[in-house]
Structure 1
Amino acid sequence: MTLRFTPLTPDLWPVFEPFFAAQSETNNCWCMWWRVPSQEIVARNRDALRAAFRQRVEDGPAPGLMALDGETPVGWVQVTPRADVPRFNRGRMSKPKGPVDPERVWALSCFFVSRSARRSGLMTRLATAACSHAAGQGAEAVDAAALKPRPDLQRCDGFVGLVPALERAGFRAVEERSAVRVLMRWTPDA
């Protein structure tokens, strides 16, 4: 693979939309899970969620990065200031430890890696690119609520990131939140 990582801007929507729409894991959520109340996720159908996310992309700034192999999307990571993902700030597994500035501390909240690119190290590369992007936008830190790997891991369980992949990208554990989830943080000086 010859990869490049690029922010999702409105001009890339025609490439991004079919990539997300073809996957059941992404087509049901459209990366709106952390942005709106759960009742709203349940009440909206996938077309409404897609429209809301497209509007978010149109309004800017870019809500994350795409991994492209040539012109073909193979991965996605949502990375934004914590202020953009209110449910991430309140979730038991993802809320910050202690006070943070939600504009200066960012959230690495969703990953999607195409079947063809799984087990290739792409999650680590996406996380690294996302942290570099966030730092370039003034982020002081990037948080993730990663999942510990386990034998019964299902294909969509890793959407929050996997601990080993994020460790390879420079994230460090802040606090174990459960037997399977760890709040992690990346800082530019780590």
Structure 2
Amino acid sequence: MATTALATTDDFRVFPATHARFGDVRTMVGPKNPTSSVCWCLSHRVPASLNRELAGAERADFVEALTRKRTKPGVLAYDGDEVVGWAAVASRAELPFARSTKIPHVDDQDAWSVWCIRVRPGHRGRGISHVLLEGAVAYAVQRGAPVVEGYPVDNRGEKVDLTMAYVGTRAVFEAAGFALAMRTEATSAGFPRVIMRRDA
């Protein structure tokens, strides 16, 4: 699995979610019950109808197939050999966000989206979301993205429910060099969502 890290800190390294790392993808986004029809980070990757159709092991198979493609479905953060984080990243044109009315397009550029950031329990508060975001941007740039955007909550320092925290916060994106591009009509966990952008 030797490959150059997309982003590094003294403690963490970020790599693309290749097929060889599919077990780590499962650790980060697979449900505890393999027959469950939830997560696998598909709710914003595929149309709602397909997300409902994919059940149990079909969801795992779908994501495994994504890891075999030339463009990987996201990036993984590691503390040594232990996977500790995941960020989903893809061209917005390939996602349901392409047709979203609540999260509008800023302009006609082929923006890439980072819409899910997850850190394993027991590892939060260590800056992993920051290095994940850097790695996701680096991967998008490698794949030709002219601009990268996210849709975090603008929570103004208030606590965000952990089940909805995957969208990220405005402060995390600002720390990674993103700037506010647009406010939206979308909300998450009771907070307004904004479009944050960073040029490649």
Q: TM-score, normalised by structure 2?
A: 0.81
Q: Distance in 2 between matches of 1:183 and 1:89?
A: 14
State the shift of 1:30 in Å. Answer: 0.9
State the shift of 1:23 in Å. Answer: 5.6
- Secondary structure, in 3 states, of the residue corresponding to 1:40? helix
Unaligned runs of 5+ in 1: none
Structure 2 residue aligned with 1:154: 161
Count of residue pairs brought into register by the alignment: 183
State the shift of 1:84 in Å. Answer: 2.6
Q: Does 1:60 align with 2:66?
A: no
Does the C-alpha gap of structure 1 residues 44 and 59 become closer, same or farther in structure 2, counting only changes over 3 Å? same
1:145 aligns with one of 147, 151, 154: 151
Does the C-alpha gap of structure 1 residues 27 and 44 become closer, same or farther in structure 2, counting only changes over 3 Å? closer
State the shift of 1:27 in Å. Answer: 7.6
Conservation of the 8 A alpha-carbon contact between 2:133 and 2:176: yes
Name the Cα RMSD after superposition: 2.3
Does the C-alpha gap of structure 1 residues 95 and 61 become closer, same or farther in structure 2, counting only changes over 3 Å? same
Q: Distance in 2 between matches of 1:27 and 1:4?
A: 30
Q: Does 1:2 align with 2:32?
A: no
Q: Does 1:35 align with 2:45?
A: yes
State the shift of 1:93 in Å. Answer: 4.0
State the shift of 1:176 in Å. Answer: 1.1
Structure 1 residue aligned with 2:56: 46
Q: Distance in 2 between matches of 1:73 and 1:93?
A: 33
Does the C-alpha gap of structure 1 residues 136 and 70 become closer, same or farther in structure 2, counting only changes over 3 Å? same
Does the C-alpha gap of structure 1 residues 5 and 152 become closer, same or farther in structure 2, counting only changes over 3 Å? closer
State the shift of 1:16 in Å. Answer: 2.5
State the shift of 1:183 in Å. Answer: 0.7
1:12-27 equivalences in 2 (<5 Å): 12-21=21-30
Structure 1 residue aligned with 2:79: 69
State the shift of 1:152 in Å. Answer: 5.3
Unaligned runs of 5+ in 2: 1-9, 186-190
Q: Distance in 2 between matches of 1:23 and 1:79?
A: 23
1:187 aligns with one of 174, 193, 199: 199
Structure 2 residue aligned with 1:170: 177
How many percent of aligned residue pairs carry the same amino acid?
A: 24
Render the CA deviation track for 1:155-189: whole Å, top value 9, x for unaligned: 1212122110000000100111146110111113x
* Matching residue's letter, 2:181: V
Conservation of the 8 A alpha-carbon contact between 1:3 and 1:67: yes
Structure 2 residue aligned with 1:110: 116
